[in-house]
Amino acid sequence: MPKTAAVNLEPIRRQIGQLCQQIRHHEYRYYVLAQPEISDAEYDALLRELEALEERHPRLVTPDSPTQRVGGIPDDAFRPVSHRVPMRSLDNAFSREEILAWHQRVMKGTRGAQPTFVTEPKIDGVGLALTYRHGLLAQAATRGSGEVGEEVTANAKTIRAIPLRLRGDAPRLLEVRGEVYMTINAFQLYNKRAADMGEEMFANPRNAAAGSLRQKDPRVTAARPLRFFAHSYGAVVGSRFAAHWEFLQTCRRLGLPITEHAAHCRSIEEVIEYCQRWEAQRDRLDYEADGMVIKVNELALQGRLGMTLKSPRWAMAYKFPAHHATTQVLGVMPSVGRTGTVTPVAKLKPVACGGVTISSASLHNYEEVQRLGVKIGDWVVIQRAGEVIPQVVKVIDSKRTGEEQPIRVPTRCPECGGAIAKEKEEEVAYRCVNPFCPTQRVRRLIHFASRRAMDIEGLGEVVAEQLVDKGMVSDVADIFGLTKPNLLALALFGDKKAENLLSAIRTSKTRGLARVLYGLGIRHIGEKAAMVLAEHFRSINRLLAAPEDQLCAIHEVGPVMARAIVAHMSHPSTTRLVEKLREARVTLSQEASKGSKMLHGATFVFTGEMSSMTRHDAEALVRQRGGQATSSVSRHTDYVVAGANPGSKSQKAKALGVKILNEAQFKKLLRKRWPVVSDQ
């Protein structure tokens, strides 16, 4: 039989390549330059032509093709991602005087240099870090805690403003940071369609962006009108920038959208004038902005100024005054938090405030209700300054009719019907005292499984809610009795996912007493206090029997903490829980390992990015060996451990003569404490 002639795919490959190039060009014109050259219908036609060609020739589909924006959620979706450089928050200023005070600190810190500034609107969106390797989008992660975010690559790829491939000559690695947001017009249209179809509406554009970015199905995210602006970077390899303004222009060249309202200002007076101009016309912006971000432009001066524990010294946010509106309180609903705290939330007559329709507002606590004198039926002034739930700030007494009704503290929990009371008369908060309240149960379960507690990967919010709703888990100890058939009965669980979660649960049993104590969620007891208690008592039985005076004798434990520990440990439900954990063979002791006190009395400070462990893990290793990990360098600091891109702490250590270790020296020190000489 004659052989079938081989099909020459090269012309088709070229045609697909040309279509991809055309589509990327038009996305760049639309999202980056805001200068579209074709209509939406013409763009859609190009995309359909590409889809048809790729469907006939699937071997020619490339990962960065515009058709590959929507795919399945991979197994590692929403897994924790440690940021190379923490995504810091900014200090705030609320007046011209506070901007000038910040400028004086900058001038002092730059020691006579004359910085320029970049000023841009502070978009009220959701922080996102995009990692490009050789120009291709490799990972997207949410801001999260600033140190650790969540993997959302599949969903980020659906946002057409985010290029899958950078234009031109891209750096070998670029981690660019920005905000995912929804324009006000798009938000209003989306909510209108949702209302027409009887679907849930979003409270505001930021809420809409956050909810859309964490969808299990990327097709849902793709259907939401999300946009993206780049504003900074965390890491870059293969390129250098001398100034922030240069970085922004590079973003535009690479195809990454930036705000068109960024300005390069030569003086602080120019900065203030620009801030005041946008404060007066912020309603002209097509996105929510709650202020202006001001940054020192020169990167060398940024490095000289350095960071505090929470914020860069070279940047700040000037916050616009809050939006206000007047509306009526229609009712008050109590809301139950993770620790059982009951918060009153005012249900309002819907009112427009800062471009968003407000129908609820926080009253914080019942003492605040009394202070404001607010009643059901009152007309009130509400304030919105970027919060998801605005605040009631004032009652309009002149509008009272005499028919207003007082707001009373509920006596029963709205979730479980349990009693509500103050634990101490001097406290402000009322709490649901039922330890088996379903709402508290879910949140306690999530906390117990969290990374810094038992680190049970795969047991997140959705799984926790299902386990409680189906009655499979009544307390955290029930996790250890789960079986594969239990998990397969839950939504989105298959064999592999069930086996992975059961394996993570088994592994967590050996975490040790400190992690268990932190996971129990004892009031006032954080991660460090849990470690101190575990190191001191060594077993759960000794801690259960400890009176307040014995706890107060521990240097790091004060009277408030001691009372909270005794109250928690003496509760009958805790006794039952500990017995169930013991039966499940969970380690309830803290073994004294060799060298556990090898760093006793030594104080460490960590700066920069470590390659083999997170900063949090390194600090935990120090504490396990009897040392202390603090956030600031002083003459009492014994060692500063400097990873890649160290900040000002390293410079301060050199000035004070504190020993500086690199990561390898630190690990050597952990193995055996020898005198170490810094080579930096």
Instruction: Give the three-class secondary structure for 443.
Output: helix
Rounded to a whole number of angstroms, the CA Rg of the chain reads 28
**C-alpha to C-alpha distance for 110 and 114, rounded to whole angstroms:** 8
**C-alpha to C-alpha distance for 275 and 278, rounded to whole angstroms:** 5
Distances in Å between the Cα of 606 and the Cα atoms of 612, 640, 646 are: 14, 6, 9
Report CA 245 to chain centroid distance, whole Å. Answer: 26
**C-alpha to C-alpha distance for 508 and 90, rounded to whole angstroms:** 36
**φ/ψ bin of 11: left (φ > 0), alpha (ψ from -120 to 50), beta (otherwise):** alpha
Structure tokens at 661: 């270790």
**C-alpha to C-alpha distance for 525 and 190, rounded to whole angstroms:** 43
Instruction: Give the three-class secondary structure for 155.
Output: helix
> What is the layout of strands, in order, in the sheet containing 603-607?
628-630, 603-607, 639-642, 659-661
**C-alpha to C-alpha distance for 519 and 338, rounded to whole angstroms:** 13
Cβ pair 538, 596 in contact under 8 A: no
**C-alpha to C-alpha distance for 327 and 329, rounded to whole angstroms:** 7
C-alpha closest to that of 392 among 422, 414, 359, 426:
359
Structure tokens at 332: 């008050």
* Strand bridging mode 126-133 / 136-142: antiparallel
**Is 122 among the catalytic positions?**
yes
Choosing from 3, 108, 122, 470, the catalytic residue is: 122
User: Which residues have C-beta within 8 Å of that of residue 600, sequence separation ≥ 6?
Assistant: 625, 626, 627
Give just the sign of the alpha carbon dihedral 486, 489, 492, 497: positive
Mind telling me the catalytic residues? 122
